[in-house]
Amino acid sequence: MPEEMNIESEVLNLYDQYDFASFTAADVETALKKDSIDFKDYAALLSPAALPYLEQMAQKAQRLTRRQFGNTIALFTPIYIANYCENQCVYCGFNCKNKIHRAKLNREEIEKEYQAIAATGLKEILILTGESRTMSGIEYIGDAVELAKQYFSLIGLEIYPVDVDEYQYLHQRGADFVTVFQETYNTETYQKVHLAGQKRIFSYRINAQERALQGGMRGVGFGALLGIDDFRHDAFSVGVHASLVQKKYPHAEIALSVPRLRPYINNAEENPKDVHEKQLMQVMCAYRLLLPFASITISTRERSEFRDNAVTIAATKISAGVSVGIGGHSDEEKGDEQFEISDPRSVDEVVKALYAHHLQPSFNDYIRLI
């Protein structure tokens, strides 16, 4: 993989740098008093000692969010155009070994989906596929992006990691943003939960955001699937990773997501590493205090009440009118979903909820000139 860059060591060396149980209330109070926190302060805010200070963290996070983003909350929706996958990830419904209904939308079906989404007023979409180069090649994704320009102002991608020239190609077709979830930054756990496929190559995945920016993308997203491993270590690594990329590419728009493990096809019913809502809010607030300018997305994995609370504190982007099946926006689903959602509200319902919290829904903050 000639385009791979060896930057992952900085993140790996930080993963186990701190014993979160060693932080005290005094460490948390010190971090909360600072206008700008370092990585040690950030670790303190993610520690168990910080949970009793969640209200203070939320108040400070809220002030920073309103200062940087005002009262606006961006809306978008994901669109799954294929669910074929070549990876064997034990936590995912798209696992290549799972016996699910696989599907791939053709151009006519994709446009029908776009039309249904555009009719809701949304101007931003996130295009997703399963991680299969064979069934969802770069040209197929590029064609979907090119078509999306007729309907949307901002086009994001959540696909398998690719090389710089391929990101450049997708950007030239119209893609603006790339999100790649590392899932977990613990390399040992990473190998245990990714049993086969290109996704097993940890270093190639962790460098995807840099390759996307070198390919011309104006923004990149980061996240770990909280619950696969110790969420504090993973959340810490997400923040460090995003911070390092922000320093290296100061022009880049940085976004963070906070996905938790959700029920999916063929999964176990209980997870001993479950992340609870207070802990999830703690992570979001810590993200905001470390990276005041970063966008934070809250997805429909979470229940509506939690999402409505999150956008008043730290989140700046919320999904609406979501379908995680293949072809679910315009017609009956043609392929099975990746996971179950918790907030099935329509775009109008989410908009009304934002207004009820004195927030301004934003459908578009970007004008496409070409």
User: Is 369 within a domain?
Assistant: no
Count of H helices and E strands in the chain?
Answer: 14, 9
Tens of pLDDT, residues 77-111 = 999 999 899 888 888 878 777 777 888 999 999 99
Number of domains in the chain: 1
Q: What are phi and psi of 79, to 5 degrees?
A: -130, 120
Over 90: is that where the pLDDT of 16 sits? no
Query: Residue 297 has what DSSP assignment?
Result: E
User: Is 173 within a domain?
Assistant: yes
Which of 167-171, 333-337, 351-355 has the weakest average pLDDT?
A: 333-337
User: Is 263 within a domain?
Assistant: yes
From the number of C-beta atoms within 10 Å of its C-beta (0-12, 13-18, 19+), residue 23 rates as: buried
Tens of pLDDT, residues 20-49 = 999 999 999 999 999 999 999 999 999 999
Give residue 241's pLDDT. 94
298 has which bridge partners? 318
Distance CA 340, CA 324 (A): 8
Q: In sequence order, what are the residues at sequence separation of 6 or more whose Cβ sits closer than 8 angstroms to the Cβ of residue 308?
A: 353, 357
Tens of pLDDT, residues 189-221 = 999 999 998 999 998 999 999 999 999 999 999
Over 50: is that where the pLDDT of 265 sits? no
User: Is 103 within a domain?
Assistant: yes
Stated pTM of the model: 0.92
Three-state SS letters, 129-196: CCCCCCCCCHHHHHHHHHHHCCCCCEEEEECCCCCHHHHHHHHHHCCCEEECCCECCCHHHHHHHECC
How far from each other are the two terminal CA atoms of the chain, in whole angstroms?
32
User: Is 323 within a domain?
Assistant: yes
User: Is 3 within a domain?
Assistant: no
Q: Where residue 84 sits, what CATH number does that domain have?
A: 3.20.20.70
User: Is 31 within a domain?
Assistant: yes
Q: Among residues 207, 253, 213, which one has the least CA distance to residue 11?
A: 207
Tens of pLDDT, residues 270-279 = 566 788 999 9
Measured in whole angstroms, the distance separating CA 135 from the mean position of its chain's CA atoms is 23
Tens of pLDDT, residues 303-348 = 999 999 999 999 999 999 887 777 766 566 565 555 567 888 999 9
Give residue 93's pLDDT. 79
Q: Where are the alpha helices (DSSP H) in 249-276?
A: none
CA dihedral defined by 275, 280, 282, 288, rounded to 10 degrees? 140
Mean pLDDT for the chain overall: 89
Distance CA 247, CA 255 (A): 14
What percentage of the chain reaches a pLDDT higher than 70?
A: 89
Give residue 242's pLDDT. 96
User: Is 204 within a domain?
Assistant: yes
Between residues 14 and 6, the one the model is more confident about:
14
Distance CA 215, CA 136 (A): 20
Q: What is residue 326's three-state secondary structure?
A: strand
Domain range for residue 222? Answer: 8-362
Q: What is residue 231's three-state secondary structure?
A: helix
Q: List the structure tokens of 233.
A: 């270590």
Give residue 330's pLDDT. 59
Distance CA 258, CA 306 (A): 13
Length of the chain: 370
Distance CA 146, CA 67 (A): 35
Over 80: is that where the pLDDT of 358 sits? yes
Over 50: is that where the pLDDT of 266 sits? no
